[in-house]
Amino acid sequence: MTGAIWNLLLALAWVILSGDFSGLNLVVGLVFGYITLVLIEPQVDALAGYPGRVPRILGFLGFFVKELVQANLRVGFDILTPPWHMKPGVIAMPLAARTELEITMVANLISLTPGTLSLDVSDDRKVLYIHAMFLDDEEELRRNLKEMECRALELFR
């Protein structure tokens, strides 16, 4: 978290010193700030691991946007073309997430994806119950959701 704050502060300093208050200039400042933090990371203990997190976050965002577009297209196609191809159902997915923050993030990512909704977490916090609009292949759905969970958990580690 310290690295992200320093990166933002360096980007804001770039924007102020350059006098160009556009969004593109802020992005340029973020890139230059990131490069600076990568270069000084070996000397500053508070920045340990920060340079490796940014590519993981960008990779996850790309993955999630792809999943989001695919789910929107599938739901949209089903709505626009009768007869409906939905086969709704509820599945139980074992969780690799352990902390409240991890479980909340995984559940919210699943609920943000059209066609799936997180319903409940078991009392022992080891199983997440999910409603799916398209339960044609339960194992494939569980595999896709597990991939999303694994990629999300990589952001914390």
Each residue of 49-78: pLDDT tens digit?
Answer: 888 888 898 999 999 999 999 999 999 999
Angstrom distance (rounded) from CA 134 to CA 73: 13
Looking at residue 157, its pLDDT comes to 73
Question: At residue 1, does pLDDT exceed 80?
Answer: no
Contacts of 18 (CB under 8 A, 6+ apart): 25, 29
The residue type found at 42 is P
Q: Pairing state of beta strands 116-121 and 89-94?
A: unpaired
What pLDDT, on the 0 to 100 scale, is given for residue 10? Answer: 95
Predicted local distance difference test score (pLDDT) of residue 53: 84
Q: What is the pLDDT of residues 70-108, one digit of tens each?
A: 999 999 999 898 888 899 999 999 999 999 999 999 999
Q: What is the pLDDT at residue 151?
A: 93
The pTM is what? 0.77
